Amino acid sequence: MFLKRLEVIGFKSFADRVGIDFVPGVTAVVGPNGSGKSNVTDAIRWVLGEQSAKSLRGAKMEDVIFAGSDSRKALNFAEVTLILDNTDGKAPLDYSEISVTRRVFRSGESAYLLNKQPCRLKDITDLFMDSGLGKEAFSIISQGRVDEILNSKADERRSIFEEAAGVLKYKQRKRKAEFK
């Protein structure tokens, strides 16, 4: 499974619809300070269900919506779509291409879509859990997170390895069953 394309509209500094195609191999995003490089990874984490505004470097979730600039009015919604290639069938869905969309309005209304069909956040987290791509996954390591991993306690660090090894899903299911 790999990231094929990211489509962003109204998310942070991306007022216009922007599409980024990821090619096989390494993709590097370069640009001056403040040009929106980190906003690209914020968009990926957000569409995968990130709930913490702080970890998206904002104060509240509304802060992900384009807030306007000298020449442009603020927008009323943000939308991000991530398209994944699933020809290897790693994600348990019978599609060779999977699209995940998240949308939020200033009113607070929000939606998640899987292959353009409305779904719950849980459907998305379940789908990517243990695939290495979840919002908590080690595949996205933001500025500051390296230090955090190095300085974390042994059991916190262990959960990173558990996600990588693919056992986190079973631990969470076990915990849920125990609390029923």
Binding-site sequence positions:
32-39
Give the binding range for Mg ion (CB under 5 A) out of 2-10, 38-46, 119-127, 133-141: 38-46
Partner touching 172 among ligand ATP, Mg ion, none, CB below 5 to 8 Å by kind:
none
Sorted by sequence, the CB contacts under 8 Å of residue 89 that are 6+ apart come out as none
Identity of the residue, 11 or 112, whose beta carbon is nearer to Mg ion in the bound complex = 11
Under rule CB under 6 A, residue 55 binds ligand ATP? no
CB of 82 to ligand ATP, least distance (A): 17
Nearer to ligand ATP, 11 or 128 (CB): 11
Rule CB under 6 A: say whether 46 interacts with ligand ATP. no
Q: Measuring CA to CA, how many Å separate 30 from each of 27, 34, 36, 64, 120?
A: 10, 11, 9, 21, 34
**Restricting to residues 20-39, which ones interact with ligand ATP according to CB under 6 A?**
31, 33-39
Contact partner, 39, from Mg ion, ligand ATP, none, Cβ < 5-8 Å per class? ligand ATP
CA angle 174, 177, 180 (to 5 degrees): 150
Instruction: Compute the distance between CA of residue 42 and CA of residue 63 in angstroms, rounded to an integer.
Output: 12
3-state secondary structure of 8: strand
DSSP for 76-141, written as a single string = SEEEEEEEEE-TT--SSSS-SEEEEEEEEETTS-EEEEETTEEE-HHHHHHHHTTTT-STTSTT--
Q: Does 67 bind ligand ATP (CB under 6 A)?
A: yes
For position 144 contacting ligand ATP by CB under 6 A, the verdict is no
Binding region for ligand ATP (CB under 6 A): 12-13, 31, 33-39, 63, 65-67
